[in-house]
Amino acid sequence: MPRILRVLRHLIAAIAMLSMLTSCSLATIAYNNADTLIGYALRDYVELNVEQEIWLKERVTLLMAWHRSNELPQWQRWLTEARERAAGMPETSELRATYVRGQALLARTTAQALPDLAKLLHQLEPAQIAFLENKFANDNRKLAKDIAVALPTRYAKRADDVREGFEGWLGSLTPEQATYLQSRATILVPMEEMRLADRRRWQRELIELIKARPELPTLEAELRSWILSPEKYRDPVYQAEMNRQYEAMLGVTAWLVTNATPQQKLRVQKKLSGYAEDIARLLRN
């Protein structure tokens, strides 16, 4: 997925998950300033004019009202279910169901925002499209430079990132957990080259689509398919490797949660409970 679409999708998703990732006060601030946050991120890719800025702010305000009424209660229930599973000894299938449910909630918010995203892209002027193309090129050069390192170094970095991610939830790993995680490091095959190739393809197709100036319904339909079903368009080898690593990491997560110490389980449950309480405060406010 081209980075601007990924950024936009993740920005929309971030609105849905802000109360899970921050303290209540910061979540409230983010909710009240979502138009500013999204506008700031978009300006890194497209130079919006005054009319577009005003329009965007109005649309984000409506999106936030919809999300607060319809989605926050869903996230609250999802967190409660996740906490219950973390308290036990979940199977890989149970963790997969939790993940799929979370992704479905993100997709609902993304789908709600898609018509406005299509309208925004539909009204881009040639200079704005050129700015976007240049930004894509710069991003690709940076990624190409970042991945031009020895393969062992990239393996080590991915392993470190995964370990730090688990430690953020569990706290310090036990020697047994650390040994197990290290033994599974070979599943983390670096995919940066495939990701860069996929991104360049999406960028090219997106720019071609915008320049073609299709009717708005056609543009929206294309974006909906690209953003909500990106697996349909990826290189089969890339998608197969993504699927393999996803399944492998579910297994690793299930093992670590099952073999967590009582203190680690309590830590996970407290974090999830805290996020659910943050959402409750947002709903009350």
Question: Tens digits of per-residue pLDDT, 162-200?
Answer: 899 999 999 999 999 999 998 888 888 888 899 999 999
Q: What spatial distance separates the first Cα and last Cα of the chain, rounded to whole Å?
A: 36
Q: Which two three-digit tokens encode residue 49?
A: 């004019």
Confidence at residue 57, expressed as pLDDT on a 0 to 100 scale: 84
pTM here is 0.81
Give the pLDDT band (50/70/90) at residue 29. Answer: low
Percent of the chain surpassing pLDDT 70: 88
**pLDDT at position 119 over 60:** yes
**pLDDT at position 244 over 50:** yes
Confidence at residue 86, expressed as pLDDT on a 0 to 100 scale: 83
Q: Which two three-digit tokens encode residue 225?
A: 């398919």
- Kindly report which listed range (127-131, 200-204, 269-273) carries the lowest average pLDDT score: 269-273
Per the CB < 8 A criterion, the answer to whether 235 and 130 are in contact is no
Q: Which two three-digit tokens encode residue 182?
A: 């290290």
What are the residues whose beta carbons fall under 8 Å from the beta carbon of 67, sequence distance 6 or more?
Answer: 15, 16, 109, 112
- Could you please report the per-residue DSSP string of 263-276? HHHHHHHHHHHHHH
Number of H helices, E strands in the chain: 13, 0
Confidence at residue 148, expressed as pLDDT on a 0 to 100 scale: 87
